Amino acid sequence: MLPQEVIRKKRNGGALEAAEIAGFVQGLTDGSISEGQVAAFAMAVWFSGMDGGECVALTRAMRDSGETLDWSGLGRPVVDKHSTGGVGDNVSLMLAPIVAACGAAVPMISGRGLGHTGGTLDKLESIPGYDIQPPPELFRQVVDEVGCAVIGQTANLAPADKRLYAIRDVTATVDSVPLITASILSKKLAAGLQSLVLDVKLGNGSFMAEPEESELLARSLVDVANGAGVRTSALITDMNEPLADAAGNALEIENCLAYLRGERAGTRLDSVVMALAAEMLVAAGLNADRAEAEAMARRALTSGAAMERFALMVHRLGGPADFVERPAAYLERAPAVVPVPAGRDGYLAACETRELGMAVIALGGGRTRPEDRIDHRVGLSELQPLGTRVQRGEPIGFVHAADRRQGELMADRIATHFTIADAAPGPRPVILSTVT
């Protein structure tokens, strides 16, 4: 198998055989295929796409590029969730302990930032000592004892995806349905799940800006995963504004703790967390009724049980034992915090959500190259939701920056990404549809 021939065939719109895909993935895994060839392959797939058979073959080859986990004997249903990515989407941080507190096991294999979206692992690395790649035996122990563990790919878990993921991030090939499908599902299938719930984002802050695109991705993910034997459904949710009121690594950890303390009830973030929790509990067989499953999840939150699980997970994976009690002692703060002034009186009617994510990267909170180091302190906070009445000069959010000059420049830039109108925008649901 000559990699350049596989690239040429896909570039010209041909359908690849399973053996060709497997051979290319093997070269991707063992390093015999160069970074340039991987990037060319990703771009060829981006332009030419893949049919269902190719997508299944790519997913299976990437799943089988390393070890697979076996949770038999755990005594709890094994379930996970994955989001296709957005801005201010820190749902996994709260969802895993909530569902664990309800009796499921959540061995969550998460990723780093991709394109304009923040990564769960980058957020967790804001916590001093937190080990995103623990030894396999510790990962298993934490899932068994706590009920959840949010970690990154080990070297032996879908290693082909790990390399491809990093190259996609810096070659503008993130928003390809076949590549997204294979990337997400190769990790999830290798993790030994019994059921999976997907959060497919739709809107100007997602990789899928049009309804047809998000439906296509959701259907691809659901069909491939169910075909591989994992019970899977997907929620399509709105990403036309940041989901949380913060974007940036340490800031989203602070937001997570506020949520687990019960301080974000009734928000768009709360709606998504509870809907996904209910879907996971039903998929896991812990409750047959979605309304009752959501009530179960709400009790886990309000009772403090979910916060206890989060605190224990952090400590068992190397973080401070008193992290949730004293987060300010451990999370780094940006030297400069600058308000973003409203340009006029009126209502926040729209925002360019993707540009807000790109602003976090420009501040240093994301990567433009795989080897870049992240500044966990920087980002945006106290972002006001669309529909908020504002007055000229009033803060619609705050920029957290490495220095005052950078913060002021970014605050001016952020202000241009919000539209302020005379009338309030109409209501917009956050849960748009379900794909089963």
Q: What are phi and psi of 223, to 5 degrees?
A: -70, -45
**Given this model, what pLDDT does residue 114 score?**
67
**Distance from C-alpha of 29 to C-alpha of 160, rounded to nearest angstrom:** 5
**Given this model, what pLDDT does residue 94 score?**
98
Of 60, 162, 168, 376, catalytic: 168
**Given this model, what pLDDT does residue 112 score?**
79
Active site residue 9: no
CATH 1.20.970.10 fits 3-63, yes or no: yes
Q: Where are the domains of the chain?
A: 3-63, 79-327, 332-421
CATH of domain 79-327: 3.40.1030.10
Of 187, 309, 367, 377, catalytic: 187
Q: Give CATH superfamily name and number for 332-421.
A: Pyrimidine nucleoside phosphorylase-like, C-terminal domain (3.90.1170.30)
Active site residue 110: no
Q: Give the 3-state DSSP-derived string for 100-116, with helices as H, strands as E and coil as C.
A: HHCCCEEEEEECCCECC
What tokens were used for 413? 């830039």
Do the two domains 3-63 and 332-421 of this chain adopt the same fold? no
Q: What are phi and psi of 9, to 5 degrees?
A: -60, -45
Of 59, 65, 83, 154, catalytic: 83
Instruction: Judge contact between 325 and 83, C-beta under 8 A.
Output: no
Active site residue 400: no
Of 81, 316, 367, 400, catalytic: 81
Of 188, 298, 315, 376, catalytic: 188
Active site residue 412: no
Sign, CA torsion 44/46/52/55: positive
Instruction: Judge contact between 347 and 388, C-beta under 8 A.
Output: yes
**Distance from C-alpha of 164 to C-alpha of 265, rounded to nearest angstrom:** 38
Q: What is the pTM of this model?
A: 0.88
Of 126, 183, 237, 381, catalytic: 183
Of 80, 169, 175, 375, catalytic: 80
**Given this model, what pLDDT does residue 1 score?**
77
**Distance from C-alpha of 132 to C-alpha of 329, rounded to nearest angstrom:** 21
User: Quick count: other Cβ atoms within 10 Å of Cβ 373?
Assistant: 7
**Given this model, what pLDDT does residue 138 score?**
96
pLDDT in tens, 52-61: 889 989 999 9
Residue holding tokens 């009920």? 147
Classify the phi-psi angles of 212: left when phi > 0, otherwise alpha if psi is within -120 to 50, otherwise beta.
Answer: alpha
**Distance from C-alpha of 192 to C-alpha of 123, rounded to nearest angstrom:** 24
Q: Where are the alpha helices (DSSP H) in 151-304?
A: 159-169, 177-190, 211-227, 249-260, 268-283, 290-302
Active site residue 80: yes
Low-confidence ranges of the chain (pLDDT < 70): 114-115, 370
Of 59, 84, 117, 120, catalytic: 120
pLDDT in tens, 184-239: 899 888 989 999 999 999 999 987 888 998 999 999 999 989 888 899 999 999 99
**Given this model, what pLDDT does residue 187 score?**
86
Active site residue 123: no
Active site residue 82: yes
